[in-house]
Amino acid sequence: MPMNGNAKTSETSKTSETSKTPRTSRVGRRAFPAFALLLAAALPVQAAPSRESAPVNEYEPAESLEGNFLAAYIAGASKDTAAAASFYREAVKADPRNAELLERAFVSLLADGSLPDAFRAAERLTSRDGSNGLAQLALGVRQIKAGQFAQARQNFARSGRGAAADLTGTLLTAWAFAGANDGKRALDTVNKLKGERYYNTFRDFHAGLIASLVGDQAEAERRLKAAYDADRNTLRIVDAYARFEAQAGRTDLAIQAYTEFDKLLPRHPIVRDALTKLKEGKPLARLVNSAQEGAGEVLYGLGAAGSTQGDELPAIVYLRLALYLAPEHALARLTLADILDRMKQTDRANEAYAQIPTASPLRLNADVQIGLNLEQMGKGDEAIAHLDAAMKAHPDDIDIISALGNVQRSRKKYEEAAETYSRAIALIGDRPASNYWTTFYFRGTAYERAKQWPKAEADLKKALELVPASQPGARAQVLNYLAYSWVDQNMNIDEAFTMLKQAVDAAPRDGMIIDSLGWAYFRLGRWDDAVRELEKAIELKPGDPTINDHLGDAYWRAGRRLEGKFQWQHAKDLNPEPEDLEKINAKLKDGLPELDKPAATAENPPEGKANPELPKGAPAPNEPPGAADKKSGG
């Protein structure tokens, strides 16, 4: 539904880990509706940092219209909306009567958060073409901000046709009526919403918020309860319902709603903060306290939905408009930052994270992510300083401490990282250990890289014990790391094969996991099987130096020595770890050492054995993963 705050969407706080986990994964739609088509045609890019106020020109303009247009187009293709907005702004100055250019500029300015300029562009667009739905929507939002609710309704009435446009326009119109203190017409307007199944929940949610704002508490209770009963997996619905019940004096129902959600998505900062306040007898504010905030909530819901469906540009536009109306909306800010993070606009994302209000329970998560992003940007010292400062302010916060360990691990300070993770684990106390399986996993990987295998093995086994069955992808990563480590050390091969098979079944498109299975075959001397699996892994992850190195080894042993040298050279060109580079150079010079006796292959098995050294649980040659289970009836 267009309100995604469910347990697996952008409303969840990010896991405090760096994306550059050593040897990560081994050891070591439907188109978003409304204005998506227009937005994609106008500027196929993502937004830069939040700039809902005056624009900032950071770029030197070109000397000609053509130069500025080309620079804007290239910036858009490079997903740099700040540059795109700047150059389109200059291009429009040179050719102000060009309608297509103006529309491109308008969308880029919206996406970049340069709203004053975007509104001026919208005025010019609607003066020429009153049917421009996105321009009408933007102007209606500006009118709500100014308290001009009647004018806003006129703009929304012209904001387009179609299911999504009707949904957006109807809800914003309802909030405009609420802003004018006309609760009856506001609720009548919301009740007109009909369409897809999720409309009912969205309708009840906003009807409840509107009723609460205009003082109809009985209707508010009825509608928020209906929304909650229909969808208890969406944080925003749970939060609105629980806050209403708390304000009505039914604290037990509020605590129950939050507690049930906490079981679904443990340790969400908003839920933890609310539960703490309720148990301490502190009041909770309403979710929405003005029509302006209510309209911002509509736009946030649409933006959150788009961010989870892969339609990032429309999502960013909605989020920019939401933040224009509700600058303190921490979830909207966090969702925007998350999208920028995914688009590798790390510095812009950090600007958005930094704008999350200090008093918000999400601020600590934002500080964690800022530190991790600084590390990704190559600013390791700043990252550690930032996280150290956050840790001093929150000395008992496990997420902050774990984030510092992740940065240390990313910087290859493995022993320091393991000590930091140990500090975090010591704080778990009587809290459910399954909520912190990643901390054991990360400490295990740090110990493994520090060559303290007994400690690493214990932690990886503990992580495997704790990782929830509801997270099969995560379980596959733990299985893979532990099994690969065993294979790499020629130990527990039977169990390792069983685990790798389970990991491949759970993540059949993960090149690193398939590489592990291929490397296990290699360790057994089954060169052809190794080649088969490693070629699959290369198709899925062609830029990984370790997989290319492994395939080179397999080719060499399978008698395909020219191809082996080619793969080693390719692995060398992909910037491998220094210790691996030394080994690759030696292989390029001398190849692999000769074996004492020829190894068996699928095509040439040893006498009397169809599958040489086949470990328990390993798929036979040419069998898909899972075939062994089917044969045994598992």
| pLDDT at res. 194 | 81
| pLDDT at res. 365 | 92
For 471-634, which CATH class? Answer: mainly alpha
Length of the chain: 634
Q: Does CATH place domain 368-466 in 3.40.50.300?
A: no
Q: Which amino acid is at 242?
A: A
Confirm if 364 and 390 have CB atoms less than 8 A apart.
yes
The domain defined by 54-129 folds into 1.25.40
Which stretches of the chain drop beneath a pLDDT of 70? 1-58, 62, 161-164, 309-310, 597-634
Residue 98, burial from CB neighbour count under 10 angstroms (0-12, 13-18, 19+): middle
Domains 54-129 and 368-466 share a fold: yes
Residues 331/334/336/340 CA torsion (nearest 10 deg): -160
d(CA 84, CA 92): 12
How many CA atoms are closer than 13 Å to the CA of 17, on its beta-carbon side?
17
CA nearest neighbour of 457 among 495, 430, 429, 420: 495
What is the enclosing helix (H) or strand (E) of 402?
helix 398-410
pLDDT for 121-142, tens place per residue?
999 999 998 889 999 999 999 9
Q: What is the pTM of this model?
A: 0.73
Query: Can you tell me which residue has the tokens 């469906």?
Result: 309
Q: Write the CA distances from 418 to 230, 447, 452, 536, 538, integer angstroms.
A: 44, 6, 10, 34, 32
Q: Write the CA distances from 99 to 74, 91, 119, 125, 161, integer angstroms.
A: 20, 12, 15, 7, 22
pLDDT, the chain, mean:
83
pLDDT for 387-406, tens place per residue?
999 999 889 999 999 999 99
d(CA 89, CA 111): 13
Domain ranges for the chain: 54-129, 368-466, 471-634
d(CA 160, CA 548): 52
- Could you tell me which residues come within 8 angstroms of residue 612 by beta carbon, excluding any fewer than 6 positions away? 524, 525, 526, 600, 605, 606
